[in-house]
Amino acid sequence: MEPRLLLGSGPSPVPERVLRALAQPTIGHLDPQFVAIMDEVAELLRATFRTDNRVAFPLSATGSGGMQAMVDTLVEPGDRVVCGVHGAFGARMADALGRAGADVVRVEAEWGRAIEPERLIEAWTGGRGRSRAMFVVHGETSTGVVADLTGLAEAVHADDGLLLIDCVTSLAGHPLDLVAAGVDAAFSGTQKCLNCPPGLAPFTVAERATDRLSRRSWYFDLDAILQYWLPGQDRADPGGTTPRAYHHTAPINMVYALREALAIVQEEGLEARWARHATAHEALRAALAELGFERYAPEGEQLHPLLCVRPPEDCEEASVRARLLGEHGIEVSGGLGPLAGRAWRIGVMGEGARPEPQRRLVEGVATLLGRDARDALDALDQGWA
Helices (H), 75-177: 88-99, 117-125, 152-158
Integer distance in angstroms from the first to the last C-alpha of the chain?
Answer: 35
CA within 13 Å, CB half, 260: 20
Q: Which CB, 98 or 292, lies closer to a second copy?
A: 98
Q: Which of residues 28-47 bind a second copy (CB under 8 A)?
A: 28-29, 31-33
Neighbours of 269 (CB within 10 A): 11
Question: According to CB under 8 A, which residues from 359 to 378 bind a second copy?
Answer: none
**Which of these segments, 114-122, 232-240, 331-339, 372-380, binds a second copy (CB under 8 A)?**
331-339
CA angle 31, 63, 40 (to 5 degrees): 35
Binding mask 65-104 for a second copy (x = CB under 8 A): x-xx--x--------------------x--xx--xx----
Identify residues 112-141 at the interface with a second copy (CB under 8 A): none
**Preceding amide of 251 cis, omega within 30:** no
Closest contact distance (angstroms) between CB of 307 and a second copy is: 17
What character string, x for contact with a second copy (CB under 8 A) and - otherwise, covers 153-182? Answer: ------------------------------
DSSP 8-state secondary structure symbol assigned to residue 302: B
Task: Specify whether the CB–CB gap between 184 and 209 falls below 8 A.
Answer: yes
Taking contact as CB under 8 A, which single stretch among the options 21-29, 145-153, 290-298, 376-384 is the one that binds a second copy? 21-29
Supply φ then ψ for residue 272, to 5 degrees.
-65, -35
Min dist CB 297 to a second copy, Å, is 21
State the Cα–Cα distance between residues 166 and 93, nearest whole angstrom: 9
The closest alpha carbon to 114, from 84, 90, 136, 145, belongs to 145
Give the residues across from 344 on adjacent strands: 309, 334
Binder among 125, 150, 249, 319 for a second copy (CB under 8 A): 249
19 binds a second copy (CB under 8 A): yes
The answer to the question of residue 61 lying near a second copy (CB under 8 A) is yes
- Taking the least distance from each CB to a second copy, the nearer of 208 and 216 is 216
- Report the alpha-carbon angle 311-141-153, nearest 5: 135
Nearer to a second copy, 8 or 117 (CB): 8
CA 382 to chain centre: 28
218 binds a second copy (CB under 8 A): yes
The reply to whether 198 sits near a second copy by the rule CB under 8 A is yes
Q: Which of 197, 202, 311, 383 binds a second copy (CB under 8 A)?
A: 197
**Nearer residue to a second copy within complex by CB, 68 or 210:** 68
CB 227 within 8 A of CB 72: no
CA distance 222 to 29: 17
- Chain residues in the site for a second copy (CB under 8 A): 1-4, 6, 8, 10-11, 13-14, 19-20, 22-29, 31-33, 60-65, 67-68, 71, 92, 95-96, 99-100, 189, 191, 197-199, 215-220, 246-254, 257, 325, 331, 333, 336
